[in-house]
Copies of this chain bind each other. A is one copy, B any other.
Amino acid sequence: MSKFAVLGHGVVGSGVVELFYKNKNSILKKAGTDMDIKYILDLRDFPDSPYAEKFTKDFNDILNDDEVTVVAECMGGVEPAFTFVKSCLEKGKSVCTSNKELVAEKGDILLSIAKEKNCNFFFEASVGGAIPIIRPLHKCLAGNDITEVAGILNGTTNFILTKMYNDKMSFEDALKLAQELGYAEKDPTADVEGHDACRKICIISSLIFGKHVYPKNVFTKGISKVNLADVATADNMGYAVKLIASFKKLENGKILPAVMPMLIPFENIISKVDDVFNAVLVTGDGFDKAMFYGRGAGKLPTASAVMGDIIDAAKHKVNVFSQSWESASDDSFIECVESFTAKWYFRTAEKNISEYADGEITDANGETAFISKEMTFAQAKALEEKLSASAVIPVLA
């Protein structure tokens, strides 16, 4: 028998409870052990819930109950989630979380406690919502040297860009629609400016490289400056504009994670990932390319990933050390963004640009748009100034 607790009864937490009782029979079969929810932690009252008797407002009820061996953290934010999760792990309870902020900021600390206490800290739901990506990366693809990742890891921005691209809506109108549909929050900063995608690429980078990558060390540029004229021109040139959270292993042994809008050639399947869907395209020496696609957010999709972790934690009480990474004492293993190399889309009033172009040169709102030869971020910045460019966007190779 494995009893578990759910911290937080918001969107994700209530989804975990709903999914567990809906599919309990098949879940128990897959877990190979009897399982039930013993506590649900929330400061609010839910008197009409069919599970009203499971609710508690006191975290210590859960912490001090030795019968609870697995805890699902679905509260979000760093505190009090960090304190609660840390306490659980220190008591040897496995924790499964959907909280990307917690994992991106404190993952190394929590993973090290889990290792020491021989329990598990799982976080499949923290990246790409429902999409299985953490286990495939460290298990199924474990035989490979993973060299690159390009992810559409934020559904809100992907919805906005899809509306700009398909319906020729401006960024502002598309954001407003996203807010009306509940895809974007009132304060959309975390999504629109790329902070959410940044946390997720930090988690992926940490897992692949084995050292903690902090959000503050990752160059992050959102989509609020993306212009409809460039989305339309890119479309004509055979590219979709997407907010890409990327990771690269460089030849100098360093890594380069970054978040920025990029042009994706239509031949690349990730260019076809539209609306609120997320996808992660991974490159490695053995498998070449693989892509994982699905719903990156939402009640039951996120709950699906947490539930998968809970079942695994109930089955495997022993620490899964490969789903882990070390603390990083400095950021010297992260290459600075100035070295980021790509071909770049430029839009400029300057006509004399043929020496910089590599391929098609086209008209864009009375200006000239072209794809440059390969150059670094620093070089693109210099050329941007030289040409007084109206837009500069890197192209995904």
Contacts and interface: CB of A to CB of B under 8 A. Distances in A.
A144 B322 contact: no
B311 A288 contact: no
A304 B292 contact: no
B295 A287 contact: yes
A301 B288 contact: yes
A308 B132 contact: no
Interface residues of A, number: 57
Given A286-B300, A293-B293, 15 more contacts: A19-B143, A23-B144, A23-B145, A30-B142, A32-B322, A132-B136, A132-B292, A135-B135, A135-B140, A143-B303, A269-B273, A285-B300, A286-B301, A286-B304, A288-B294
Given A290-B132, A290-B292, A304 B144 contact: yes
A123 interface: no
Interface string A139-164: 11111110000000000000000000
Interface in A289-344: 289-295, 298, 300-301, 303-308, 310-312, 315, 321-322
- Say how many copies of this protein the assembly contains: 2
A269 to B, nearest CB: 6
A23 B139 contact: no
Interface in A123-144: 124, 130-132, 135-136, 138-144
Contacts of A136: 132, 135-136, 140
A19 B285 CA distance: 9
A176 B66 CA distance: 66
A304 B284 contact: yes
Interface of A: 15, 19-20, 22-23, 26-27, 29-32, 124, 130-132, 135-136, 138-145, 210, 269, 272-273, 277, 284-295, 298, 300-301, 303-308, 310-312, 315, 321-322
14 contacts: A19-B285, A20-B143, A22-B145, A23-B143, A124-B140, A130-B290, A132-B292, A135-B135, A139-B311, A143-B310, A144-B304, A288-B300, A292-B293, A315-B322
Given A30-B322, A269-B273, A272-B272, A308 B141 contact: yes
A293 B283 CA distance: 12
Contacts of A31: 142, 322
A298 B294 CA distance: 26
A321 B33 CA distance: 11
A142 B290 contact: no
